[in-house]
């Protein structure tokens, strides 16, 4: 039974449409190797039936492909359910899909994330989830440990208007203490978010033709790696 790959971007007129065309080209040129792989694409904010952008059409034509008959389609639960593998251009696309279909977690990846060799390290998403969990636990412990203090301060705030400024100062001190406790996690999150950005495919929409050419070349290299990885792990 064939493996269905779904490429996803925002409008389905630039990145994911080019990705579908590139993948189709690689598959057709390596028939036996990728015979059981089928590709399609969609957009998280796409309209139904919109043509690919003019620059996307031009760039793929420069590389012997054709997007003139391409029509965009919006992502939906059926497309997510039918796909065996979903490859997104950005982390935002990935999160939107997971919000729509949490059960698809095991088959949704950033395109660049999928082709990386992550066997030797924790996936970036799992690391983010772990850090958020640690922050949540520290927040819960903090508020539990300071429950009485916070309650007393709240009562004073309500009863003694003249002491409001003093009470607020104590709240501020507690907030600063909490921020100090989770500072390490916040800094780690910033570093990971920067790393995640390197796994995203930049949107060329609204940019000069050269940006589309750059996007095409980047997509081609990553998709070729992705298709080979799929075959090697079957």
Residue 162 has pLDDT above 80, yes or no: no
Residue 118 has pLDDT above 60, yes or no: no
The Cα 47–Cα 230 span in angstroms is 30
pLDDT of residue 197: 74
- For 111, the 3-state DSSP assignment is helix
Mean pLDDT of the chain: 90
Q: For the residues 57-84, what does the mean pLDDT come to? A: 96
Instruction: Pick the closest to residue 17 from 64, 79, 60, 78 (CA basis).
Output: 60
The Cα 143–Cα 174 span in angstroms is 10
Q: For the residues 140-162, what does the mean pLDDT come to? A: 85
Residue 121 has pLDDT above 90, yes or no: no
148 against 2, higher pLDDT: 148
* Residue that is written with structure tokens 């990553």 in the block: 222
Residue 163 has pLDDT above 80, yes or no: no
CATH 3.40.50.2300 range(s) for the chain read: 3-116+200-232
Give 5-25 pLDDT, tens digit per residue.
999 999 999 999 999 999 999
The Cα 200–Cα 66 span in angstroms is 25
pLDDT of residue 165: 78
Instruction: Pick the closest to residue 212 from 33, 13, 5 (CA basis).
Output: 13
pLDDT of residue 231: 85
Give 164-219 pLDDT, tens digit per residue.
777 788 889 999 999 999 999 999 998 888 877 788 899 999 999 999 999 999 99
Confidence of residue 120 (pLDDT cuts 50, 70, 90): very low
The Cα 223–Cα 179 span in angstroms is 42
Provide the CATH number for the domain formed by 3-116+200-232 in this structure: 3.40.50.2300
Question: 205 — phi, psi (to 5°)?
Answer: -55, 130
pLDDT of residue 198: 81
Judged by average pLDDT, the poorest of 3-7, 29-33, 84-88, 153-157 is 153-157
């Amino acid at each position: 039974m064939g493996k269905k790959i779904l490429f996803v971007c925002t409008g389905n007129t630039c990145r994911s449409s080019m990705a579908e065309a590139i993948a189709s080209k690689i598959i057709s040129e390596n028939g036996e190797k990728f015979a059981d792989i089928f590709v399609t694409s969609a957009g998280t904010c796409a309209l139904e039936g919109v043509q690919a952008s003019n620059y996307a059409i031009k760039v793929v034509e420069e590389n012997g492909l054709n997007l003139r008959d391409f029509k965009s389609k919006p992502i939906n639960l059926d497309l997510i359910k039918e796909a065996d593998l979903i490859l997104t251009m950005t982390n935002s696309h990935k999160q939107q899909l997971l919000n729509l279909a949490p059960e698809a977690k095991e088959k949704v990846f950033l395109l660049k994330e999928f082709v990386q060799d992550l066997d030797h390290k924790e996936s970036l998403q799992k690391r983010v989830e772990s850090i958020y969990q640690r922050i949540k636990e520290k927040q819960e412990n903090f508020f539990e440990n300071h429950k009485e203090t916070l309650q007393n301060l709240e009562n004073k705030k309500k009863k003694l208007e003249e002491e409001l400024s003093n009470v607020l100062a104590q709240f501020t001190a507690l907030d600063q203490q909490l921020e100090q406790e989770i500072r390490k996690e916040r800094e780690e999150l910033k570093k990971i978010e920067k790393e995640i950005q390197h796994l995203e495919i930049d949107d060329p929409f609204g940019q000069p033709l050269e940006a589309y050419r750059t996007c095409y070349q980047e997509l081609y290299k990553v998709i070729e790696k992705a298709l080979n990885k799929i075959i090697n792990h079957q």
